[in-house]
Amino acid sequence: MKNIVIIGAGKGIGLAIASALHPENQVIAITKTPSEDLTKQGISTILLEAGKQNLQAGNDFPEAIHGLVYCPGSITLKPFHRLREEDFLNDFRQNVLGAVQCIQELLPRLKQGKASVVLFSSVAARVGMPFHASIACSKSGLEALAKSLAAEYASIPIRFNVIAPSLSDTSLAQNLLNTPEKQDSAAKRHPLQRIGTVQDSAALAQFLLSENSSWITGQVIGLDGGLGNLKV
């Protein structure tokens, strides 16, 4: 049984990953607020805001951590002329520095577990999209971080990979999908003619955390219905 820490596991993609991995693994869910869904499944939960509070302060983590998933993200969509410096800084703090802090704090335990680390980017880091300047900058930084760490820790080995989804049906994207017309329009932008689900992301994360992906590291994997590479 592996010890898997999931940051941002209270809802959406993080919750779906926690549910997929439990109970075959010892899942430790990190979330800002209590989650009834986690409680019902008997998933061990630590309440704190990762990236702002020390993960290990007063919390008893296992000596070896075999997997770490960092799910927090943002979706700051504004015309470029309306973006403030603080918008860029907030996105960078959450998407990049939050991941940096969590990885650094748990690194000795990740080394013991020869772990797989999974981070979440966005198709917007690869494909130029209007109004995505801030989020694209921060997610591009996260992808670069993962590649650098994959090289630095390959000899242990700790593996680092990134999942880059397109628009998925989560609470974070609620304003973009809150009518049937918006859902239909979003689906039609993708070659596979649908938007993503949390189960899509959970299945890929589960694979990257498993031994079946033991020869995969330093990769950014597009989970985007073909949007990142295809024109149809």
b/e per residue, 172-199, with b = 16+ CB within 10 A?
Answer: bbeebbeeeeebeebeeebeeeebbebe
pLDDT in tens, 120-164: 999 999 999 999 999 999 999 999 999 999 999 999 999 999 999
In this model, does residue 89 exceed pLDDT 70? yes
Asked if omega into 79 is within 30° of 0 (cis), the reply is: no
SS3 of residue 183 by DSSP: helix
Cβ-based neighbour number of residue 50 at 10 Å? 23
pLDDT in tens, 180-202: 898 999 899 999 999 999 999 99
pLDDT in tens, 212-229: 999 999 999 999 999 999
- With beta carbons less than 8 A apart as the criterion, state whether 229 and 164 touch: no
- With beta carbons less than 8 A apart as the criterion, state whether 113 and 3 touch: yes
pLDDT of residue 178: 84
- With beta carbons less than 8 A apart as the criterion, state whether 121 and 143 touch: yes
pLDDT of residue 60: 86
pLDDT of residue 182: 87
Q: What is the DSSP letter of 212?
A: G
pLDDT of residue 52: 85
Question: Taking the model in full, what pTM does it have?
Answer: 0.96
Residues 6+ apart with CB under 8 A from 206: 17, 20, 21
Strand intervals (E) in the chain = 3-7, 26-31, 44-47, 67-70, 116-120, 159-165, 220-223
pLDDT of residue 24: 95
pLDDT in tens, 21-65: 999 999 999 999 999 999 999 999 999 988 888 988 878 899 999
